[in-house]
Structure 1
């Protein structure tokens, strides 16, 4: 169904009290049956409109399957042109733009450049930064919405061009313009990059992304001039930090392909700046993106590339972080023994960490972060085997909550959501409801898209217990937040 086509429902159907009641309660078995009865729509037509299979619609109508996915509820709203207010959603796009063509501006090709297109030379890295920031800074909100559909690339298309990271940087022609930057100006740029990174780590992507891009564009302009070798090296490192922050912000707001482009720019900039440890951190970020995209094998290859490149220069915190990414990939592949082995390696490496001995950007990786990451991966395993892993997951997540507190806004919210899921898996509904309310409260403090996505994953746990009033109230709070 295109967003500009009229709704397929018969006139007046949505005014019926029984239909409105079923929709408000998310009773889609009754709602679909009533729509089928009074509108004359076939199950196949409803399935096509809502981008569902006919078998799924049949199972819903017959009461064999509940609609628990927030994404599916949105598809039903959009496909059947049911106003958001009837389903507890915010107004949908088609409600705010009636009769308008959904013609978004064409964006540049979102494919990350291949190794042949952008060689591993410093000047090519500057050109890539200029291209990315120029297009991104003029991209309006409607174009950004279209970019959400851009999926991250995977497999050899992603991995093969990254091999250049392990090779020395190629020679580049010198710029014609003489730069004027000195150590003090570079220190100011480094301070700004650090401040943006801290803001993103606490709150998530969103409001400050274009400010980061503006700073990144300025750094690229300075690198297009002839700076001293020492200034140039530090500028490339600043570019890598800003590009990495831009990548996580883009990813956090759902711009997957654009995030991948900025990760690639960050990797190239760290390479040009001779910072293999920062490059390993960028590869770890790319691996995390692959893990969230259910590509654990690609993630594992990225981590191994990072470990190979930084093997002799990475400190204990960086090594521990890389081991947790490795463990995450093993957990996603169902390799429990390998997960436990690499988690133990992470804990062992972290015991050697000392304050102030590693770059500032890895200082966040402490006992709390290790516990939170381990708890999240145990929760992944618990979804398939609750009896074996759910209690262990809850213990690790509680440890993370006790160590880092609510000031770590995004991580705190993710911990709360994970703990609520643990209690649902353990059958402790009372504690699950308490944690769900705390999770919603925590989620309101951040604009992170990842937090909202995880809250959407928590929503189905509340549907199966809909008869209990406390669970219903918790479910309504999740729905209210996700609908805004």
Structure 2
């Protein structure tokens, strides 16, 4: 008889986070494991869990937010785990019955999980980690497809061929091109419908080679659709789609592109966390998002280093850029600069052989924007960094082609804000007007939100007549940014 996983922990986390699927229900009934838990000997527990779940030390560390070296030291008995918050986190993520660790049992042993918004889920990072590492690690992942919006398409195909995969890949590429040029607002619903159409092919018969290609093609389509939803400020749907896509990349990890795509999806999730923190209007920032962004960057780095196939050099560079911005959000100057230096080395190593189609948006302009964004985010804690953000951001907005008008529209508000923080009000007023025109030319609620946040920041500077006039000029473009 298995021990019910109850305890003085978050009920939803105990149910949803726990690796309950791959771990035999009687593992924690084993006298050796019980005695180890009573002594807080997590080394014995970690070894047993890894053996049953087939995890490496690095993968277990990613799931528990611990470094591989920390896992190794605990398993060797060189380090202990005693801090109550860390013990509680480990118990939640490994479904360890709480009373075996000395927590008071809860009265309700069912631990039934209520349906909550994915933006409010306390266990979202755990679920994303489980999706990245593999569907068998989390029972909810098997039901992810059913949680996607829209009606499931009827099954009309009984077999799947190479031409079908080519068509799915072409559809994804078309949506990506449209988003880069025009924003995602006008094609989001069409993309959601296509995701359901492609899901209907899951059970079609095909060769193993085609099945692997299907998983990666379906993941790419779900990933770009998630980005379109994020751009429309439908963040809950975006997270569902990205988690679903991460799970598909793990199923298709035999494909050489799988690692690159998984990391690219996590990069989109980092962008979302940063956007939700409202860096242009930091008074409304959610501090949780800063930590969430860095956790996602760490998960992406773990994915890049543990998958069978290597990540592409340009994706690795963009990950380093994003990691730099995550450190900048935390005010960590040296870590930010080291990450930017690593990014430049990785970009230098990129070539056609290690670059995939979904990285087409990572242009020299986008790379410059990454550097400028990092320095701008650092300026929130170190105002002197604002001036260092201006040149790379200016290079970015002046280098974008019409095919990347969406990127230009999203970066102009940041450039304007950097000029404001640096005290260059004339340039800020000029770029603010450009930002309003650019945002008005694309279908992007996310860009409008950034413009609204810029307006909130500019309100602190509008004693300057140039800034006051700029705020009047951008007001018509703020419609729909609420």
Of 293, 298, 301, the residue aligned with 1:299 is 293
Identify the residue that residue 173 of structure 2 maps to in structure 1: 194
Q: Is the Cα–Cα contact under 8 Å of residues 317 and 366 in structure 1 kept in the other structure? A: no
Per-residue deviation, 1:315 = 1.7
Of 339, 343, 348, the residue aligned with 1:342 is 339
Identify the residue that residue 308 of structure 1 maps to in structure 2: 302
In structure 2, the CA distance between the partners of 1:344 and 1:225, relative to structure 1 (3 Å rule), is same
Q: Is the Cα–Cα contact under 8 Å of residues 270 and 293 in structure 2 kept in the other structure? A: yes
Q: Is the Cα–Cα contact under 8 Å of residues 169 and 271 in structure 1 kept in the other structure? A: no
Identify the residue that residue 476 of structure 1 maps to in structure 2: 472
Per-residue deviation, 1:355 = 3.1
Partners of 1:249 and 1:362 in 2: CA distance: 16
Partners of 1:219 and 1:271 in 2: CA distance: 18
Per-residue CA distance 1:374-408 (angstroms, 9 max, x = gap)? 2122112224433x212210011012123324441
Kindly indicate whether residue 398 of structure 2 is the aligned counterpart of residue 402 of structure 1: yes
5+ residue gaps, structure 1, are 1-110, 121-148
Partners of 1:469 and 1:349 in 2: CA distance: 44
Per-residue CA distance 1:7-59 (angstroms, 9 max, x = gap)? xxxxxxxxxxxxxxxxxxxxxxxxxxxxxxxxxxxxxxxxxxxxxxxxxxxxx
Identify the residue that residue 158 of structure 1 maps to in structure 2: 125
Partners of 2:423 and 2:166 in 1: CA distance: 53
Partners of 1:118 and 1:360 in 2: CA distance: 37
Identify the residue that residue 452 of structure 2 maps to in structure 1: 456
Per-residue CA distance 1:405-450 (angstroms, 9 max, x = gap)? 4441121112222222222222222222111111111111112122
In structure 2, the CA distance between the partners of 1:382 and 1:214, relative to structure 1 (3 Å rule), is same
Identify the residue that residue 389 of structure 1 maps to in structure 2: 385
Partners of 1:247 and 1:168 in 2: CA distance: 19
Partners of 1:360 and 1:246 in 2: CA distance: 16
In structure 2, the CA distance between the partners of 1:160 and 1:472, relative to structure 1 (3 Å rule), is closer
TM-score, normalized by length of structure 2? 0.64
Kindly indicate whether residue 219 of structure 2 is the aligned counterpart of residue 240 of structure 1: yes
Of 328, 332, 352, the residue aligned with 2:329 is 332
Q: Is the Cα–Cα contact under 8 Å of residues 433 and 470 in structure 1 kept in the other structure? A: yes
**1:310 alignment partner, SS class:** helix
What is the aligned residue count?
Answer: 340
Identify the residue that residue 84 of structure 2 maps to in structure 1: none
Q: Is the Cα–Cα contact under 8 Å of residues 21 and 136 in structure 2 kept in the other structure? A: no
Of 190, 196, 199, the residue aligned with 1:217 is 196
In structure 2, the CA distance between the partners of 1:166 and 1:333, relative to structure 1 (3 Å rule), is same
TM-score, normalized by length of structure 1? 0.64
Kindly indicate whether residue 386 of structure 2 is the aligned counterpart of residue 371 of structure 1: no
Q: Is the Cα–Cα contact under 8 Å of residues 266 and 297 in structure 2 kept in the other structure? A: yes
Q: Is the Cα–Cα contact under 8 Å of residues 178 and 225 in structure 1 kept in the other structure? A: yes
Partners of 2:135 and 2:125 in 1: CA distance: 20
Partners of 1:450 and 1:261 in 2: CA distance: 18
Partners of 1:340 and 1:161 in 2: CA distance: 28
Identify the residue that residue 265 of structure 2 maps to in structure 1: 282
Partners of 2:202 and 2:128 in 1: CA distance: 23
Per-residue deviation, 1:160 = 5.1
Kindly indicate whether residue 184 of structure 2 is the aligned counterpart of residue 205 of structure 1: yes
Q: Is the Cα–Cα contact under 8 Å of residues 219 and 235 in structure 1 kept in the other structure? A: no
**1:223 alignment partner, SS class:** coil
Partners of 1:197 and 1:221 in 2: CA distance: 22
Kindly indicate whether residue 254 of structure 2 is the aligned counterpart of residue 254 of structure 1: no
Per-residue deviation, 1:357 = 3.4
In structure 2, the CA distance between the partners of 1:115 and 1:392, relative to structure 1 (3 Å rule), is same
Per-residue deviation, 1:178 = 7.5
In structure 2, the CA distance between the partners of 1:184 and 1:405, relative to structure 1 (3 Å rule), is closer
Kindly indicate whether residue 163 of structure 2 is the aligned counterpart of residue 184 of structure 1: yes
Partners of 2:366 and 2:312 in 1: CA distance: 16
In structure 2, the CA distance between the partners of 1:119 and 1:318, relative to structure 1 (3 Å rule), is farther
